[in-house]
Structure 1
Amino acid sequence: MSDKARFRLVGRPRARVRAAASSPGSRVPGALAQLAVVLRTPARAAQPLFGQAPKTWQRMLPFAVVGVFVVTLLPVTIAVLTNDYGLSGGWSGALGVAQTVPLLLAVTRPLHAWGVVLLADTIGAALLIHADRVAAHAWPWTPMAIVGYLLLMACLGLRESIRTLVGVWLATGAVGAVLGFFQPAGSMNTAALLFVLGGVMLALTGALRGLGDAQQRIAEQESISEAERARRTLLEERARIARELHDVVAHHMSVITVQADSAPYRLPGMPEPVQEEFAAIAASARESLGEMRRLLTVLRGDGTERAEGEKAPQPGIDRLQQLVEATVRAGQPVELSLETGAAEAAPPAVDLSAYRIVQEALANVVRHAPGASTRVSVTVDEDEVLVLVVNGPARDAVVALESSGTGHGLVGMRERVRLTGGTLDTGPLPDGGFRVAARLPLNAPNKDLS
């Protein structure tokens, strides 16, 4: 996904959340939704919590909070275990480090941190069974262990799935229940307390994370809806273009066809060569109408109609002879050199591209150099088709039919050649003519060139 697409996907929902938060009637839900987006589940397993927050201080906040907890809990745990529970200094220091330092891992890998902390808390509960002053104190979970464990539950709730959270919660209760069978006399059992508080913390943070995920899914659906709207707009524009083409072009082409077909009947005594000329004009007009109708079907269709239009036979190298003959009948001297088997050797994409390149090149000759001698050559070697169209200068007595052009013809040639992975070389010749040379590889990629 590009950066721009990612901005559309993530940035816009935040803008909508801010707008919702600013409305008088929904300030609290809007604030929760904004917080949920910040706390949304990271995309990668090792990505830190708040890793997708928009601001730097928000991304650094989990590290700061966990660091403060560790720096505070470590000395307090050692002091309480030594002074209140009567545990030896060595064991107190080891347990203090084992129960607090792994919390630093909770920012990136809370599930791993939970396993280490639960093991350390369980070992600590086993050591406190024989402590000198455990009576009248919390057991098996000390107050410091409960605080650190709840912090760990918050990190887990913001990261892991519901199934994992339920498993963590049940495992915590199971360990507390098992340790309850070894409870020292006079101690206060805190297994149920941690089980309840841990469940509440997991539920709250899990629900908040789920709200963020829901916001993300809504943003993705809205992005998909925008793409669908753009696609519908494109189809509507295609239909409009098709209607305009039909209104502007089809009517005039139909008139040309009717006039050319009816000329021998409206003008009796017409010489035979003139009748043949009118017949050629009518045939060319009908062929142009047929190709335009296929194009309109593709432009108009969104489903079945477009598929039917794309299934229509496309011209290829085997129809170059007809194309050249039609050009010759129009008064343009053209010679065709077509290698035997060229049409069979070329794949469909190359076959169509070769025909369209020759068609556009001959059209350019008729428009810009009418009457100029032209040579068309199509050859095939081991791995490519070579299409060559060369015309000489226009006859002095003939004025070009068009003195200027849009340049779309050459652009279309280059695009077709590019899609087939070939090369195109065009340019004027020293004698005033023009040359079009295209190399089309036989292993052309499967692209839609129609």
Structure 2
Amino acid sequence: MKGISWVWLGTAAGCIALLAVGAPLNMSLYQMALPFALGLAILHAAALGLTAARPLAGVLVSLIPMIVLPLVSDPVGAAPMPFSVVAIITQVLVICVAGLRAYWMVPAAAWLASVIIGVSLNYVTMPHGQSEGAQNNVVIFAAVSGGLMVAAVVAQQWQHMRTELAAERTVSAEEQSRRRLAEERTRIARELHDVVAHGMSVVVVQATTASYRHPGLSEELKKEFDDIAANSRRAMTEMRSMLGSLRNADAGRQLGPQPTLEDLPQLLASARSAGVNIPEPTLSGVEREDISEVIALTAYRIVQEALSNVIRHAPGATVNVDFTVSGGNLRVQVVNSSSDVGALMAQLDKGAHVGQGLIGMRERAAIVGGSVTCIPTLDGGFSVSALLPLGASKSAAGKSGTTSNNNEGRAQA
């Protein structure tokens, strides 16, 4: 913006200088009447400024003074003809500016028209014979203006090439960035598969065959191993979904069914089997049919992550899960009490890696226009409160389908 301002300021200064010199010169050296002297100088200087904004219109306007000036002048002595020096300089600048601002045919036409006008005026204004000075002026004007016109056109084309090259470099850089991102996603998917899939498969096989390998197991232990196998299969299914999303960023939402609030009982039962005391959740004003699929999925994942944190950091604690619909929003609250075992594990867990579960919950809620608040309670427990708008748009739903898959591993951390 600053560069453009300086260009216009320079153009305006040049027009004022040409007008200040051209008008007195027309009156004193070419003995023009004041209206013609001042009017033609103003018109020619204004044409230069107009060419900077509207090249074709400026060129057409500049030809008018070039035609009229020799017809209304009566040069004193050896004054340059058929054009004055100021008129020649102004017209050369007009052609150069047109060469920098317009397609090459516009400055070429301006140059050709100016030369034709100069040659023609030699015969019209001097019918009894052309002076050598007038002929030389036309030749010099044609040579100088023609050379500068070619230079201006070349400069414009060079600038266009630089702009196009910069644009191509930007596109190439973006394509390379996308390619590297795709390669990185594929690498992450491959490493996750190599590291996690084999171990999870072993867990599933061992849990499934435990009752056959150890015939003396009690029914309670058999049920425990069955739950381990079921949870492991569910984790592997979700991991495969995440790996599919990493391998194909444009895959969109998965074809397989996503968990909803209808799957909460199974999730709570799994948490209870891990030693967490969870009373039946309260549903205040909640109508399942009013909750969209994406909101239900988001609420399920938030509860899932909150329970995972309780199992990890506060085993044996009591967890209250509440759902409330108010003001067009679904409020999900997961509040756990303190746990002596959890306090001990928290001390042992110091220095371990920082999980990304809370960040993942906030990202999921932000996708649908909601928010998540995580704060410790006064009794030493922890509270996770999510506010999700029931009127989330379909665009948010589509975005959630892709982004939630990309964040799956982070939300499970």
Structure 1 segment 30-179 matched on structure 2, within 5 A: 51=4, 60=6, 67=13, 71=17, 74-75=20-21, 78-79=24-25, 82-83=28-29, 85-88=30-33, 91-100=36-45, 103=48, 113-128=58-73, 131=74, 138-139=81-82, 141-162=83-104, 164-165=106-107, 168=110
**How far 1:182 moved relative to its partner?**
5.1
Between the two proteins, the alignment pairs up a number of residues equal to 389
- Measured in 2, the distance between the counterparts of 1:200 and 1:423 equals 67
What secondary structure does 1:157 align onto? Answer: helix
Aligned counterpart, 1:369: 314
Q: Report the CA distance shift for 1:325/1:151 in structure 2 as closer, same or farther (over 3 A).
A: same
* Corresponding letter in the other structure for 1:328: R
**How far 1:235 moved relative to its partner?**
1.8
Q: Note the residue ranges of structure 1 that are not aligned, 5 or more in a row.
A: 1-46, 52-58
Structure 1 segment 27-426 matched on structure 2, within 5 A: 51=4, 60=6, 67=13, 71=17, 74-75=20-21, 78-79=24-25, 82-83=28-29, 85-88=30-33, 91-100=36-45, 103=48, 113-128=58-73, 131=74, 138-139=81-82, 141-162=83-104, 164-165=106-107, 168=110, 183-185=125-127, 186-187=129-130, 198=145, 200-301=147-248, 307=251, 310-337=254-281, 339=283, 342-394=287-339, 400=345, 403-404=349-350, 406-426=354-374
Select 2:383's aligned residue among 431, 435, 445: 435
**How far 1:316 moved relative to its partner?**
2.4
- Measured in 2, the distance between the counterparts of 1:416 and 1:443 equals 16
- Measured in 2, the distance between the counterparts of 1:347 and 1:158 equals 58
* Corresponding letter in the other structure for 1:117: S
- Measured in 1, the distance between the counterparts of 2:222 and 2:9 equals 91
Q: Is the 8 A contact 2:324 2:331 kept in 1?
A: yes
What secondary structure does 1:158 align onto? Answer: helix
- Measured in 1, the distance between the counterparts of 2:326 and 2:90 equals 76
- Measured in 2, the distance between the counterparts of 1:158 and 1:132 equals 34
Question: Which stretch of structure 1 is more off in the superposition, 246-255 or 335-344?
Answer: 335-344
**How far 1:387 moved relative to its partner?**
0.7
Q: Note the residue ranges of structure 2 that are not aligned, 5 or more in a row.
A: 405-413
Encode CA deviations 1:215-254: one digit per residue, 9 max, x unaligned: 1111111122112222222222222222221122212111
Q: Is the 8 A contact 2:322 2:333 kept in 1?
A: yes
Q: Report the CA distance shift for 1:111/1:433 in structure 2 as closer, same or farther (over 3 A).
A: same
Question: Which stretch of structure 1 is more off in the superposition, 165-174 or 437-446?
Answer: 165-174
Q: Report the CA distance shift for 1:134/1:96 in structure 2 as closer, same or farther (over 3 A).
A: farther
* Corresponding letter in the other structure for 1:260: A
Q: Report the CA distance shift for 1:110/1:398 in structure 2 as closer, same or farther (over 3 A).
A: closer
* Corresponding letter in the other structure for 2:275: G
**How far 1:183 moved relative to its partner?**
4.8
What secondary structure does 1:149 align onto? Answer: helix
Q: Is the 8 A contact 1:417 1:438 kept in 2?
A: yes
- Measured in 2, the distance between the counterparts of 1:375 and 1:242 equals 36
**How far 1:289 moved relative to its partner?**
0.4
Supply the RMSD in Å over aligned alpha carbons: 3.7
What secondary structure does 2:244 align onto? Answer: helix
**How far 1:414 moved relative to its partner?**
1.8
- Measured in 1, the distance between the counterparts of 2:86 and 2:77 equals 15
**How far 1:197 moved relative to its partner?**
6.1
- Measured in 2, the distance between the counterparts of 1:142 and 1:432 equals 94
- Measured in 1, the distance between the counterparts of 2:307 and 2:243 equals 24
* Corresponding letter in the other structure for 2:180: T
**How far 1:380 moved relative to its partner?**
2.7
What secondary structure does 1:334 align onto? Answer: coil
Q: TM (normalized to structure 1)?
A: 0.73
**How far 1:126 moved relative to its partner?**
3.8
Encode CA deviations 1:353-408: one digit per residue, 9 max, x unaligned: 11111000000110111111112122334511111111122256995486346142
* Corresponding letter in the other structure for 1:371: G
